[in-house]
Structure formats: structure tokens, C-alpha cells
Amino acid sequence: MKDDVTAIARIETEGEIGLICLAKPPVNAVGLALRSAIHDAFQTLSQDPAIRAIVLYGEGRFFSAGADIKDFGKADVQPTLPQVLKALNDSDKPVIAALHGVAFGGALELALATHLRVGVAGLRIALPEVKLGLLPGAGGAQRLPRLTGLASAIDIICSGRDVLADEALSLGILDRLVDGPARGAGIAAARDVLAGTLAHRQTDARVVADDPAAVDAARIRLQAKRPALMAPLKALEAVCAATLPIDEGLAGERALFMELMAGDERAGLVHAFFAERATGQIPEKSATPRTIQRIAVIGGGTMGVGIATSLLIGGYQTDLIEAQSARVAQARSGIEKNLAGALKRGKLTAESHKAALDGLGCTDSLDVAAEADLVIEAIFENMEAKIGLFAKLDAICKPGAILATNTSYLDVNQIAAATARPEDVIGLHFFSPAHIMRLIEVVVAEKTAPSCVASAFALARKLGKVPVRAGNSDGFIGNRILTQYRRAADYLLLDGADFAGIDAALEEFGFAMGPFAVNDLAGLDIARATRDRKAATRPPQERYSRVADLICDQGWFGRKTGQGYYLYEAGKKPVAHPGAMAIVETERRALGLAPRAFSRETIVARCLTAMIAEAVRVLEEGVALRPVDIDAVELFGYGFPRHRGGPMHQADLIGPAELIRRIEDYAAEDPHFWQVPDLLRKMQRDGRSFADLNG
């Protein structure tokens, strides 16, 4: 038989062993084309009398990333993945999967349907479908328990977690774990099988014992999760079907899979998966990034400490510069504490933890910035202070060094103008805690050089972050939207809702915390400083809620002072602060407002519509490149519930007509705040969706 080197499922032969090589870059995703090709290749080898065993392996970095997420619309087109896998399982000839790198989702399901699995050291396997709002839909929920037992399968499938090779071997998912290329490992295993020295077996022939205790415990755990998502619970149902005869179990699993496939949860999570990856498509993509080896972070506060930690975890030599000598040691110990946490969580190995500590320098001398390829300023939000610092950096830093500001609101053009090299100045807006939060808004000022932007994106990806390109606008993308979201919540509070009720409604929607609980966490004094800064330019028509200012006047700044909207006592659940509610009521009386009742749906609708309206303005002003960039900002920096996909994704679900209707309705009482963005009207006229604008 002639080997076909161009096929995406390439047939190769080694004596009496036939091989099928998955060769569909970049990740061998099993869409309709690849599963059809595997099916055809398998039929060819099955019917060839010279072939006695069949090995499947993958070309490139991985065995395969699983079913093709972009091809979900064709999940039911024949041959379906379950049909292809059933043929593997039923084969008279031994079928062996040789796995390296990654075998996720449908790819692991494929391996589970073979008669023997060989792993190459370093392999990671997973059934991560629940992270996409799905469950394993090609027999994974039936075949994994047949190898591991019900309890382990529930754990792996309902969490979607990665399983490393050693664990996979000990659980019986892998039959053998070896070093070296997968192809050779597969051939060696096939030879042993043919020689009768290695046992193999049809997975479907095995039976699964029921385990009611494990099932009940899992159900209770999953139901208690917030947000309570459908996919893990349906996945549990599918795994439970593994105690039935295989064909019944497979049919039940597939029905549940197709039900989830049609749902909003799946659409939101898949959108989030691609949003994370789409943000890298920027106009500066072809520019060559500058070399960054040594980085200086200026400012030893929470932000500077978090940024330095993140850089050290990313392997960069990092100097933290804190002007007040007395605070240098404190900053160092903050970083050391963060790094110890990263070691504990497994984000660093003992070796990389030591390297990170060795790479850290802490000083009160700005002169160290002379050595840096990149300087990240993280001092307090004050334009004069930043201008002064950038002028000094201009004098100290070497030519070509990138000078970044971590400002969250201020004008980066103005900061750049303090230097004689505005092309080297950029905004790198990290989110707190910076070593945990994944978003970085990369703020491109008027004169920022493309190589500077490309460097920022390369750095962010190396740190495992999600960089989003933002234009220079007050609050960039995220804080602009946040301001309107908070304002909508403040107006609801004045008009009759209570803050705990508003928080509860938004938490039910999926936010980890409602806006008032978040304000307490961030510190009410911080937001007040921003409001004070903007007071002089506030439009006279703008409705202004004084509630937060009045709470601050009491010295209640939120969590850090033990009081804010909520009362905080060590070891107790925060409770709504009666003093804060009294302030709200007094303010309502002073304004002559008769409190109205708002349903949870109305609360969510108003807050979400305010977010969407501002997001559309951000888009039409070109501050964000595409709708998907806005979604990425909200998902990775502001805790927008992942299964909701982001505000632009929500806007498509709601539709422009309904959004316009809502805004016009709310505008009857506040025409300044509620205005229909032109772009939204245009979308309605043209019958277009925001997804269309992602290009």
C-alpha cells in the first residue's frame, strides 16, 4: 500500500501494522473533514488482509485538541464522531492509540474507543467539554467510567480538569507510559499485542458498577456551585448512564449532548474560548517585537507588587523601584508572599520559584531603570506625578526602552508628551491582583510605535495574560463600561431597589459579586477620588447619586474599614449595613423620590443595557477594535460571567431592536443617561449582529 503524504488522516504501513496519522494543523481538531478521513483510512486498513493491527497517532505538537469547535454546526453530519468511534471499538483487528502532548475531548474519546492506549511522557488528557457548556458527546461519558470506575470519571468529566500522564496510567486510562515519539511507541505496542505479550480489550465490553454515594455527593457539590451551570449536571447524568448497556448509554449521552449544543450556555462559553484567542489580531501584528529581558516596575503598592510578581512568574528579571525607602522591604515581602502562593498552587516549580527570587531586585533608586528594556510605572493616579516621573525616565532610560504606564484612566498622550520619545510610551493597564487577573489593556497612544505594541502583546502572552488593544480614552474600554454599569446600579438604588437586592440579582446572572460588594472590596475612597477628579467637568444634566460620597463621609470605605455598603466582621458573612441603607433612605427623601419596586430581571436588564450602550459607544469611537475585544475585556478583567459570553455577545442575544426599545423606555425618566448609540440604530437598520463586525 502506498503512503499518502498529503492526507489529513495519512495511511502509513510498517510491515503488518497499519498506521493512521492525524495531520491537520494546528491542533488536529477533529471536524467533519478529519473524522471522515479517519473513517475512510480505517476502512481501508480494516479491509487490507496484510494488516493485522492498526495504530492511530498525531503529527505536530499534539495528538489532538478534540472535536473542531468551529465545526460544531456539523456535529450531526455523517459520519458522526460516535459512528467513527463505534467502528474502532468493534474492529476485529487490534486498534491502538499512541498519544502525545494533548488528547482532549473528542480526541480522548477516540482513544477510549480503541483497544489499547499508549501515552508518551508529558501527555495531558482531559474531557474539557463542560468548560464549553457541553458534555463528552462521542462516548466519553460511557467509556471513561468503563476504565476508571464511576467516581473518577465523574470527577474528571464534571470538572473538565487536565489529567497528567502518571495519573492517567494509575487510573487505567493508559495501558502503557513510555518516552519517545508516539509513532514508535504505537508500533512497539502493536508488535507486543501481535506477539501476545500485551493485553488489549474492547472498552465497550466492560461493565461499570453503580456508585450511588459518589453520584449523590457530586450532585450536591455541583448544585451548590455559583453560578449553577447546566453542563456539569447534565454531564453527571450522562456518566450515570454508563451503568446501562452500552448502546443505551451512548444514545442517552448523545441526546444530552445535542440538548446542550443548542443552548445559550454553550454559545457563551464557546464565544469566550475564541474571544481569548481573537484579541491578538491587531494592526501591529507584523511589527517585530523588541527584546525584553529586564524590566523595572515603579511603585511598591499593591499594583506594583502584583505586576512584579507576574513578571517574575513569567521568567523576567525584575527590579521593583519604590521611592520611599521605608516601603522597599514591605514591597519585597509582598512579592515573596505572592511567589510562595504561586509555588503552592503549582504555578511555579521549586526550581522556577528559586529562579524568580534570584531574578528579583528591590530598591529605592530610580537609576536602576537605566538597565531596563521595559519600565512599567505603577504609582498613584495623579497626572502631575506621572508627568514628572516620565520626564525623569526619559533622561535615565536607554534608547529603545519601552516606557509603560499602568494608569487606569489618565491620558496616555499627555504622559507620552512629557518625554522626547513618545513613540516608546504605551499604556499597560493591569488588573488587581495583577499576578492573578489575566487582562491587560494595551493602550495605544497617538505616537506609540507599532514595535512597542507588538512587544506588549508578546510580553502579555508570555505572562499567560489576555492582551486587548485599546484606544486612549478616559477609562479606556473596561473602566468606561464599568462607570456606566455602576451608575445604572446607583440609579436603581436611589429609585427604590436596595443594594443587597441589586447585588443578588447580578450574582444570580453570574457575576461573582454584585457592584456594591465590588465597590466595598475595591475601597469606596478610590472611586470617590475619581469622581472628585471629574466633578468639574461633570455635565450639569447628569443625574448624580451622592450615596457613595455620604457613606465615605462616615469614614466607611468598605472592606478595609470593616464598613461600607456591608458590615464586615471576621469569620462572619457580610451583612447589609443598616447605616448605609439609612443614608440611602435619607437621600431619597431629600430628593423627593418615592421608592419603586424592581424585579431581579429589571435590575439585570437595566445594568446590562447600560453596559451594552457604553460598549457600543466604545466601539463606534474606535476605542475597541472589535466587539469581541470588548467581551474579552469584560470576561478577563471585570468578572463578566464566562457562560454569558460578554456584553457584546449578550447584545446579539437580546438584539438591537429590543435594546433600542429598552433604552427609549428608560430615557423617559433620564434622557441624559439613556441615549441610543447611533451604531445600534445602524445595526438594526442593516439587520447586522455584533458577531458580524468581528471580521
Using the minimum distance from each CB to ligand 3HC, give the nearer residue, 74 or 327. Answer: 74
C-beta of 416: minimal distance to ligand 3HC in Å? 31
Using the minimum distance from each CB to ligand 3HC, give the nearer residue, 17 or 270. Answer: 270
Q: Are 643 and 229 within 8 A, CB to CB?
A: yes
The residues, any chain, with a CB within 8 Å of residue 519's CB and separated by 6 or more, are 486, 527, 548, 558, 564, 565
Q: Are 372 and 401 within 8 A, CB to CB?
A: yes
Task: Tell me whether residue 431 is exposed, middle or buried, using C-beta atoms within 10 angstroms of its C-beta: 0 to 12, 13 to 18, 19 or more.
Answer: buried
- How many CB atoms sit inside 10 A of residue 690's CB? 26
Measure the CA angle with vertex 397, ends 391 and 399; round to 5°: 110
DSSP per residue, 78-132: SSPHHHHHHHHHH-SS-EEEEE-SEEEHHHHHHHHTSSEEEEETT-EEE-GGGGG
- How many CB atoms sit inside 10 A of residue 43's CB? 11
Residue 576 backbone zone (phi > 0: left; psi -120 to 50: alpha; other: beta) = beta
- How many CB atoms sit inside 10 A of residue 354's CB? 13
- Residues in contact with ligand 3HC by CB under 6 A are 26-27, 29, 65-70, 81, 102, 104-106, 109, 128-129, 132, 134, 136-138, 140, 277
Q: Are 646 and 635 within 8 A, CB to CB?
A: yes
Using the minimum distance from each CB to ligand 3HC, give the nearer residue, 245 or 464. Answer: 464
Distance set, CA 194 to CA 94, 115, 516, 577 (Å): 8, 13, 67, 74
Using the minimum distance from each CB to ligand 3HC, give the nearer residue, 278 or 307. Answer: 278
Beta-bridge partners for 178: 120
Using the minimum distance from each CB to ligand 3HC, give the nearer residue, 421 or 438. Answer: 438
Q: Which residue has the cell 489529567?
A: 163
Supply the residues annotated as catalytic. Answer: 67, 106, 109, 129
> Can you give 311-378 as a three-state secondary structure string?
HHHCCCEEEEECCCHHHHHHHHHHHHHHHHHHHHCCCCCHHHHHHHHHCEEEECCHHHHHHCCEEEEC
C-beta of 227: minimal distance to ligand 3HC in Å? 20
Short-list 61, 145, 55, 147, CA closest to 101: 61
Q: Which residue is nearest to ligand 3HC (CB)?
A: 105
Using the minimum distance from each CB to ligand 3HC, give the nearer residue, 148 or 419. Answer: 148
C-beta of 279: minimal distance to ligand 3HC in Å? 10
Using the minimum distance from each CB to ligand 3HC, give the nearer residue, 128 or 645. Answer: 128
Rg for the chain (alpha carbons), in Å? 28
For residue 133, how many C-alpha atoms fall within 13 Å in the half-sphere facing its CB? 24
Using the minimum distance from each CB to ligand 3HC, give the nearer residue, 137 or 145. Answer: 137
C-beta of 281: minimal distance to ligand 3HC in Å? 8
Using the minimum distance from each CB to ligand 3HC, give the nearer residue, 20 or 67. Answer: 67
C-beta of 68: minimal distance to ligand 3HC in Å? 4
CA dist., res. 404 & res. 304, Å (int):
12
C-beta of 22: minimal distance to ligand 3HC in Å? 13
Grid cell for residue 307: 505586576
Quick one: which H or E segment has residue 269? helix 264-278
Q: What does residue 331 show for φ and ψ, rounded to 5 degrees?
A: -65, -45
C-beta of 514: minimal distance to ligand 3HC in Å? 30
C-beta of 222: minimal distance to ligand 3HC in Å? 19
C-beta of 278: minimal distance to ligand 3HC in Å? 7
Beta-bridge partners for 120: 178
Residue 61 backbone zone (phi > 0: left; psi -120 to 50: alpha; other: beta) = alpha
